[in-house]
Amino acid sequence: MLEVQGLRKVYSTGGREVEALRDLTFTIDNGDLVCLVGPSGCGKTTLLRCIAGLLTQTSGTVKLDGHEVSGPPPGLAMVFQEYGRSLFPWMTVRDNVSLPLKQKRVPRQRRDELVDQALEAVGLAGTESAHPWQLSGGMQQRVAIARAVAYEPSTLLMDEPFAAVDAQTRADLEDLVRALWQRLKVTVLFITHDIDEAVYLGRRVIMLSSSPTVVQDEITVDLPAERDQLHTRADPRFTELRTHVYEQIQAAKRGRPASIG
């Protein structure tokens, strides 16, 4: 379980203080898929970096499976928006996916198995010896997802991973994330500023207020577990949920709760 309790982050730079996160509290059960949306600049990346142990909070706690996070926790993998910068261009696809496993000291044979399985799972079997720059943006992001999956994480943090790909690729990658989540039973925290994406993907959606940030609202997405781009997005319940999230985000920008919903 991921537990975020009273998380506050104040940046101090050049004598100026920016309160990015004021007081965030939420929990995510093991095996859940939770999307986090909020207005631009509300501190989504700050939150993820605190959860990943890459940034020290000013106060509050983050616990993963009962252990307080104070550095990059084992069992946690991340996928970033900028796949172009997260893959090493001079390494092959196999070496990129394999790298965290080497750091984890996984034996060679097991490493190869995990890489093969992960590339197969993201539909990239056969690209092992290619270099990232020989692949499309969508394929590069699949490599980044394969790298996270091969690591066999219990928790996967995704920071606006599809913001830089075209709409069709994005739809395919969304379906890939749901399929992997269902298959691997991994806990996923997915950050996006795209409301439709949050409702389509998530089993829960947490909405953040604008900075200084608190949890504005949260919903359980009571759409069928089997989702597809055509039918789910045409479901009247999908429209209701996205309208609710939209109104909450608009209210968050104005700095108060929405009156309806």
Q: How far, in Å, CA of 151 to CA of 143, rounded?
A: 12
43: contact with ligand ATP by CB under 6 A: yes
Order of strands across the sheet with 16-28? 67-68, 59-64, 2-13, 16-28, 213-220, 204-208, 33-37, 187-191, 155-159, 76-79
153: contact with ligand ATP by CB under 6 A: no
CB–CB of 138/173 below 8 Å? yes
Q: For 69, which DSSP code?
A: P
Scanning 13-21, 147-155, 165-173, 250-258 for contacts with ligand ATP by CB under 6 A, the matching segment is 13-21
Q: What is each CA distance from 230 to 5, 20, 162, 176, 235, in whole angstroms?
A: 38, 37, 19, 15, 9
- Pattern 212-251, binding to ligand ATP, x per CB under 6 A? ----------------------------------------
List the one residue from 7, 20, 76, 97 that touches ligand ATP (CB under 6 A).
20
- Pattern 76-115, binding to ligand ATP, x per CB under 6 A? ----------------------------------------
Q: How far, in Å, CA of 202 to CA of 178, rounded?
A: 9
CB closer to ligand ATP out of 3 and 11: 11
List the one residue from 34, 46, 99, 119 that touches ligand ATP (CB under 6 A).
46
155: contact with ligand ATP by CB under 6 A: no
Number of helices followed by number of strands (H, E) in the chain: 9, 10
Task: Tell me the sheet residues that pair with 155.
Answer: 76, 187
252: contact with ligand ATP by CB under 6 A: no
**Range 159-218, binding ligand ATP (CB under 6 A):** 193, 211
Q: How far, in Å, CA of 92 to CA of 132, rounded?
A: 7
Scanning 34-42, 68-76, 171-179, 233-241 for contacts with ligand ATP by CB under 6 A, the matching segment is 34-42
List the one residue from 24, 44, 209, 249 that touches ligand ATP (CB under 6 A).
44
Residue type (1 letter), 181: W
13: contact with ligand ATP by CB under 6 A: yes
Residues that bind ligand ATP (CB under 6 A): 11, 13, 18, 20, 38, 40-46, 193, 211
